[in-house]
Structure 1
């Protein structure tokens, strides 16, 4: 850490003097529109931001769309500074955080955002309050368009408020008037709902905040989308390019040039206090130009985890390169745009097959003194579970990983409710234990256990089959296990055809399939990455990655194999048990 220059007056009391333009930008990023807000006793605190985060702060566009890889600091270093500034410049304003589910906001979005706020100086219980109003003794002003209740809101010391809006709670955006919107994990948002519900609330109140560039601002960020329905966010790049073409110059470059001049002047303000008045006048001129341009600017950015290599760590990136399947590493880490493969084993699987069903009567019964992943780890949070019928269960068995899937029929639909797994050295009995723990409160302690020939074999080290190990543990915990043997693993062509018809829909003889989005992360990845390989007797599922023990086996074909058994067994039991036709006959017509 370098010491302040000797010619600086004592009143600056700088902890650290940083001479880089970009780091000065961080230090002064939240100075208000009035240049006089640079107080005489300003104290600089050093914080590290990566290049994508710095560019976002420098541009400060009214609309921002960020497609950044995992580990780039989207929540803590993008959403947090952006919403911090929104609140600061719009006292008594009303913003909102939007997510595909309320659980996402509680478990994944808010914790790092709050951490970011705290690093910028806010203190919970002093500067902001989550799901509770500030104490009356503080005389905090009321929001201009404040909420009636506090359950889904964050209140701030200057009278501002932020609502937590989720697309899985019908009507949560109705009747609101908001002044800014920030959305995390945008690839999971339903674009039609976003356009027709929430974005329509970002309106009005020009008499309070008109002219402030952050007014009616939008921020949406995500890692690289991999489904057709989520590609809308990539289209925002075209809007950014079109803006520059209309004006005849690069709008983003012009903004960055202005910021460079502003921060060069701030350096002069610190180094030459005797010229304070003239420097402040120049700063104000450039600041006004910057505000005028960015208030109508769309900014789209892409970044990979490599852009945060100092924070994430080169060793971690190298480790992920070895463990992750190539597609996941390319999209989630390197942030490269996906290509549609012609060799997918489940080519019809897309975003619309995933749904959100959370029991918020159960969620809302909790006090939220803390936030974070794993707050609700049993089936009472799952609104898609029929509590009064048995659960269907299927597993895949192996030395390195043992996945388990749970499903239930629901009318003409079949729902894949939950995935579980254990990895070496844990075994089948451990995944049985996890199942019993998660479904401890399920009233009907009965399962339909679907298994094929791979579950009934013994080995030189054990005279008990995996099927018996699993069933015996559940029975010891009070469950009734209905054995549903499906025979030998169905031929690849039959599984391919079954999934194709079930995912496309329209065949009254087959279930339409849906997946609980929040509970089936690795099922999705496994099925999306499963490929077709040509064999000597026809095509098959390519399972070569299962033999590569350097890969993360959660993302190979193990989960997809369990899904095959579950869907096949479900049709045998639920759709055809009273039908004289064989299941094979469905594919003969």
Structure 2
């Protein structure tokens, strides 16, 4: 009888499922450690992590595993829903195969050792596996546990130093789980880290850990094993008992080979969004290029590294020390289950005084950007950002602000903005006063807020003035000018905008050179502007460019007041 290495997809016991070649390759190799950089829309969580985690769960029943995210908000809003979506597509059902945030039912197996913590932010699986959902803004609570496998999505925003603190926790119970290739393994996926956005590139350090020959061998053995499985299906369909017995022996032998060649294997791979081109279609890439611009398209879609040149930065002294990642009181989110709709609130902020006034910088337009902040001693803390995209406007922006800060006790907001906000040039609209009214009163009900418009009759802020002042501000060279601290989670768009903003040097007819801000990014798609344009950097400019601070940095000749372009 000739070998049959294909199966009939019309057979009742065959379920055809689409998977791109990347997902299939990862499934075939199934390494101990997976580090994958893949472009957007490659279903990294809902396909790759979901399927791989199911394999790990089946291979290590009753194990304890951990999934880490930068914050609980990101975990509960993005990572966990995508993971559960992938499980559901594979046939798992909530309440039957897994439960979240609660003690597992009596029908479930239990982990290899009693779980002593709260079941809040956990996923329990029917075979006794427990996955703890952890946040790196509170890593201390994770380090004391013992886990047999770790997962992490969006690895570019996970800080290596905090991940290192979890390394000792990936341990324990070799007698129970040492048989598994996945024991003490790691699974991390991400799109291409972008240093301009402040991403971390630690994932590239694992490229050297991959033994390419071992990975090739694992793939080759897996392909042989797959052919044997297909032959076995055909033999069972033909009811050839002798052939079935022979193939089962062969299957057992090659399965042992496959396990052996995967032991200790690291698989590191970089792939673009084109891996999913059959599903995404040509239009996705055309729309993405128009929306993102060529530089962001190279990084996010084509998975090409971004070349960062310090001399191009408009904010050259802006550094990692200007951001903080411990500004969340995660205890606030303990009351929410993984599947709950999260209510974000200023109550979760660590560096806020609810009894003190708030400040905000706002940039008006078809995208309205707001950065809220508070002075505390010698620091200016940028706490939270908000934005709206047309047709939304000041009414919706006000609603977002009031909702987030509804528990703030001293309801006084000092609003800084472009002077044209009092008479917006394009539509002849007093936008600043409009925002003030919407914050102070919503749907005919007083909110309790009092808004002080701080930019009435403000002088023009020239781009070269902003550039020179920010060198002092971020350089922290002048006494009396506060040190800026920006919440990297609460102000993601601001962080990206400041990092992406480039300098533009112009020369007039006389050869006199002046410094400007490159505004080309404000021509990209509206929905991408919050993250990838200069809009949020302008909101920040209005927030920090105050006379009492600027005057301390101004000396004769230090600012070129003749710069011709006005923001």
Question: Which bracket does the TM-score occupy, shorter chain normalised?
Answer: 0.7 to 0.9
Judged with a 3 Å threshold, the aligned counterparts in structure 2 of structure 1 residues 127 and 238 are, in CA distance, closer, same or farther, namely: same
- Match of 2:357? 390
**Mapping of 1:224-303 within 5 angstroms?**
224-227=192-195, 230-240=200-210, 243-244=211-212, 250-273=213-236, 274=240, 275-303=243-271
- With 145-154 and 282-291 compared, the bigger mean Cα shift is at 145-154
CA distance in 2, matches of 1:254, 1:135: 42
- Match of 2:118? 149
CA distance in 2, matches of 1:139, 1:470: 54
- With 446-455 and 330-339 compared, the bigger mean Cα shift is at 446-455
**Is residue 470 from structure 1 mapped to residue 446 from structure 2 by the alignment?**
no
- Match of 1:23? none
- Match of 1:527? 498
Flag structure 2 segments of 5+ consecutive residues without an equivalent.
Answer: 508-512, 560-567
How many pairs are equivalent? Answer: 534
CA distance in 1, matches of 2:177, 2:88: 26
Instruction: Tell me by how many angstroms 1:72 deviates.
Output: 0.7
Judged with a 3 Å threshold, the aligned counterparts in structure 2 of structure 1 residues 49 and 513 are, in CA distance, closer, same or farther, namely: farther
CA distance in 2, matches of 1:586, 1:164: 56
Q: Pick from 179, 182, 188: which aligns with 1:220?
A: 188
- 1:344-394 Cα offsets, whole Å, 9 max, x none, are 2123445552524223333222344x25xx622443333333211111111
- Match of 2:109? 140
**Alpha-carbon contact 1:15-1:45 (below 8 Å) kept:** yes
Q: Pick from 392, 395, 401: which aligns with 1:426?
A: 392
- Match of 1:445? 411
**Alpha-carbon contact 1:355-1:514 (below 8 Å) kept:** no
3-state secondary structure, aligned to 1:288:
helix
Q: Pick from 351, 360, 363: which aligns with 2:333?
A: 363
**Mapping of 1:67-466 within 5 angstroms?**
67-136=37-106, 138=107, 140-144=109-113, 146-195=115-164, 197-227=165-195, 230-240=200-210, 243-244=211-212, 250-273=213-236, 274=240, 275-341=243-309, 342-352=311-321, 353-368=323-338, 370-371=339-340, 375-398=342-365, 400-457=366-423, 462=428, 464-466=429-431
**Alpha-carbon contact 1:546-1:558 (below 8 Å) kept:** yes
Instruction: Tell me by how many angstroms 1:434 deviates.
Output: 3.0
CA distance in 1, matches of 2:324, 2:290: 29
Judged with a 3 Å threshold, the aligned counterparts in structure 2 of structure 1 residues 385 and 309 are, in CA distance, closer, same or farther, namely: farther
Q: Pick from 536, 547, 563: which aligns with 2:540?
A: 563
CA distance in 1, matches of 2:217, 2:424: 70
- With 81-90 and 486-495 compared, the bigger mean Cα shift is at 486-495
Instruction: Tell me by how many angstroms 1:334 deviates.
Output: 1.6
**Alpha-carbon contact 2:108-2:128 (below 8 Å) kept:** no
CA distance in 1, matches of 2:254, 2:16: 25
**Alpha-carbon contact 1:93-1:145 (below 8 Å) kept:** no
CA distance in 1, matches of 2:367, 2:105: 51
Judged with a 3 Å threshold, the aligned counterparts in structure 2 of structure 1 residues 349 and 80 are, in CA distance, closer, same or farther, namely: farther
CA distance in 2, matches of 1:355, 1:567: 21
**Alpha-carbon contact 2:63-2:111 (below 8 Å) kept:** no
CA distance in 2, matches of 1:74, 1:433: 34
3-state secondary structure, aligned to 2:225:
helix
Judged with a 3 Å threshold, the aligned counterparts in structure 2 of structure 1 residues 86 and 501 are, in CA distance, closer, same or farther, namely: farther
**Alpha-carbon contact 1:377-1:438 (below 8 Å) kept:** yes
CA distance in 1, matches of 2:230, 2:403: 60
CA distance in 2, matches of 1:176, 1:548: 46
CA distance in 1, matches of 2:423, 2:540: 20
Judged with a 3 Å threshold, the aligned counterparts in structure 2 of structure 1 residues 520 and 286 are, in CA distance, closer, same or farther, namely: same
CA distance in 2, matches of 1:218, 1:586: 58
3-state secondary structure, aligned to 2:485:
strand
Instruction: Tell me by how many angstroms 1:265 deviates.
Output: 1.3
Instruction: Tell me by how many angstroms 1:99 deviates.
Output: 1.2
- Match of 2:562? none
What is the TM-score normalised by the length of structure 2? 0.87
- Match of 2:510? none
Judged with a 3 Å threshold, the aligned counterparts in structure 2 of structure 1 residues 16 and 139 are, in CA distance, closer, same or farther, namely: same
What's the RMSD between the two structures over aligned residues? Answer: 2.8
